[in-house]
Amino acid sequence: MKEIIAYFSMEIGLGAEVPTYSGGLGILAGDTLRAAADLGAPVVAVTLLNRKGYFHQTLTLDGTQEERPVLWEPSRHLQELPQRVAVEVFGRRVLLRLWTFEVLGIGGRSVPVYFLDSNLPENDHKDQGLTDHLYGGDAHYRLSQEIILGIGGVRALKALGYHQVRRYHMNEGHSSLLTLELLADRMRSAGRHYVTADDERTIRRQCVFTTHTPVEAGHDQFDWAVAAAVIARMELDSIKDKLCHQDRLNMTHLALHFSGYTNGVSKKHGEVSRMLLNRSNIDAITNGVHAATWVADSMQRVFDQYCPGWRQDNMLLRRQVLDIAAQEIWKAHLETKRHLLSLVEERADVKLDERIFTIGFARRSTAYKRNDLVFDDLDALKRIAQKAGAFQLVFAGKAHPRDEAGKQMIRRVIEAMGRLKGDLRAVYLPNYDIALGKAITAGCDLWLNNPQPPLEASGTSGMKAALNGVPSLSTLDGWWLEGCFEGLTGWAIGSGEATSDHETERARDAASLYQKLEKVIIPAFYENGGRKYWNVMRQAIAINGSYFNAQRMLQEYVAKAYFCEAPDAPQAPQAIRSIKTPDPRMLSRSLSN
Ligand SMILES: *Cc1c(COP(=O)(O)O)cnc(C)c1O
């Protein structure tokens, strides 16, 4: 059997009907696999079944988020396999069943995804639910899931007959326990009870790691004592002095320690990660989205006509889109916009006007993304609508069930929308998922994004928008530092320069947002029949759509992480320190330029 790349991810977004993802990380994983299938790359993926999905969001009138499990029937979408593997959790044996799904590429090749599922009658009752909830439960639950994903995943690949794994790719630290299983294998076959330097070197040649966020909460840590009790593996004890920091086991440090190649997900995030994780050798591969998945049907028809072959080679969009009459782009966009507006009417019973400038914002509701920023000054919004031209707002986004601040922010957004009634139309669509994500990124006229720099590692929804000819208005963070050409592909909020404190920065960003809308963007949309705006739309596709796609991203992974020679000189172990969400004041924009 040929050599494979084994891609491990706690969540994978395969489609709205397989609800095993929560957001950006899972969708990126899905897009990566779709690009791998297109390219015919020998990738296989491992994830958890997440039998109860993430959650279905409904909103009460005052904006309170209500959550219920998404019941889906795995057997309708996946195929069960006969193999079984077992892992030890808390000293109990947990048997896992396996399911598979084929991600089909445009050339007819495919990439298999293997789902691990603990729902078997042989298992202790509570263990049967271990693969039910994505990011649910307490630390024990999470750790148990990570044992299943990391250790169970390696065993599953073996049981499935994959004996030659060229690289294990840890998509975020959730799967980093896989390194312990690889160590154990080596120790077992050598009949040793201790880890040698050569073991560690060998594992490093096999493993690559992608870190996805500078936010502390994204780096799982467990009390060492708890981890040791749950995992109960001698490999863990033998590396304790190298990995244990303040009596915690940090999954990011574990992944870093055993990876020969590590990357962040935008140039800026690479730099931030080098500081945050105290390592000089963290590279950057900027994210991308799967073009054929995210481009709306009407725009696909235009691309098919003018850029035949664009699905096989996204780079074709770079030159050929500029030859399309801007009005053609606009006509295709208008069709997509109508689709979004009909969805708004159907789901929220709000009638929006297709002639009016429409601003979209859909994002997980969490503090650093500042979902409510545009509502900081409602009078300013009303004034802009009167003076510069009418606009309407379409919002969406879930808050993690335990993120109270995020839930509060949804309430604030909905309350502000209520207060704008009569002056401008605004709507919050519940249950942001892949299908809604596609409709909203393609159907708005402007994609708004205003995270607090430098906390957005990359962001990908603006890339989906760009591929559909929708320019961004965004703070200079993540991918936008690479994709923003002012007035050509979209516009920047603020200068990216850090100020003294969050409050000042927020006020300054809000002012900049209002100023750009009023003086630059809305006039471009309405003046001269919108021709200036159409040009920006076309350039967003040509300049950004041709680059910020999963095809280019995957080719970078192939070249830098999968098929290059493994580094001979392993990463020198460096001092372990706590991972703390970076203080924006320490990071000026000059870092990235
Ligand atoms: C693209 C997408 C995301 C990630 O977008 P960001 O810009 O990284 O926030 C999250 N959820 C859904 C449903 C998406 O389609």
What does the pLDDT look like over 254-311, one tens digit per residue? Answer: 999 999 999 999 999 999 999 999 999 999 999 999 999 999 999 999 999 999 999 9
Residue 244 confidence (pLDDT): 79
Centre of ligand 1 to C-alpha 463, Å, is 10
Model pLDDT for residues 72-81, shown as the tens digit of each residue? 999 999 999 9
Q: What pLDDT is attached to residue 216?
A: 87
CA of 323 from ligand 1 middle (Å) equals 30
- Ligand 1: nearest atom to the Cα of 432: 13
pLDDT value at position 590? 41
* Residue ranges around ligand 1 (CB below 6 Å): 23-24, 27, 363, 432-434, 437, 459-461, 464
pTM for this prediction: 0.96
Q: Are 451 and 479 in contact (CB under 8 A)?
A: no
pLDDT for position 502: 83
| Mean pLDDT along residues 98-111 | 96
β-bridge mates for residue 555, sequence order:
none
Average pLDDT over residues 10-27: 93
Instruction: Work out which ligand 1 atom sits closest to the CA atom of 362.
Output: 9
| Averaged pLDDT for residues 241-251 | 84
The closest alpha carbon to 148, from 164, 166, 128, 163, belongs to 128
Q: Looking at the chain, how many residues does it have?
A: 593
Mean pLDDT calculated for residue range 93-99: 98
pLDDT at residue 231 greater than cutoff 80: no
Do 36 and 17 contact (CB within 8 A), yes or no? no
Can you tell me which atom of ligand 1 is nearest the CA of 458?
A: 8
Which residue is closest in CA terms to ligand 1's atom 3? Answer: 24
When pLDDT is averaged across residues 466-486 and rounded to a whole number, the result is 98
What pLDDT sits at residue 546?
A: 98
| Domains of the chain from N-terminus onward | 4-284 (3.40.50.2000), 291-548 (3.40.50.2000)
Confidence of residue 591 (pLDDT cuts 50, 70, 90): very low
Note the pLDDT of residue 585: 58
The helix (run of H) or strand (run of E) holding residue 531 is helix 531-539
Hey, whose CA ends up nearest to atom 11 of ligand 1? 23
pLDDT greater than 50 at residue 589: no
State residue 500's pLDDT score.
67
**Encoded tokens for 446:** 């402007």
Q: Would you place residue 193 in the very low, low, confident or very high pLDDT band (cuts 50, 70, 90)?
A: confident
Residue 462 alpha carbon to ligand 1 centre in Å: 9
CA of 542 to the centre of ligand 1 (A): 22
* Confidence band of 17 (pLDDT split at 50, 70, 90): confident
pLDDT of 230 over the 80 cut: no
Residue 258 neighbours by CB under 8 Å, 6+ apart: 176, 179, 182, 200, 203, 204, 207
Categorise residue 444: left if φ over 0, alpha if ψ from -120 to 50, beta otherwise.
beta
* Mean pLDDT of the 377-391 span: 97
Residue 551 class from Cβ within 10 Å (0-12 exposed, 13-18 middle, 19+ buried)?
buried
Atom of ligand 1 nearest to the CA of 369: 9
pLDDT at 592: 40
Mean pLDDT of all residues belonging to the chain: 93
Is 550:35 a contact under the CB 8 Å cutoff? Answer: yes
Query: In testing the pocket of ligand 1, which one of 431, 461, 467, 479 has its CB within 8 Å of the most ligand atoms?
Result: 461
Q: How many whole angstroms separate alpha carbon 440 and alpha carbon 336?
A: 9
Give me the pLDDT at residue 233, please: 76
Contact between 210 and 169 under an 8 Å Cβ cutoff? The reply is yes
pLDDT of amino acid 242 = 79
Fill in the amino acid letter for 241.
D
CA distances from 548 to 91, 308, 448, 480, 544 (A): 46, 19, 17, 10, 6
State yes or no: pLDDT of 374 exceeds 50: yes
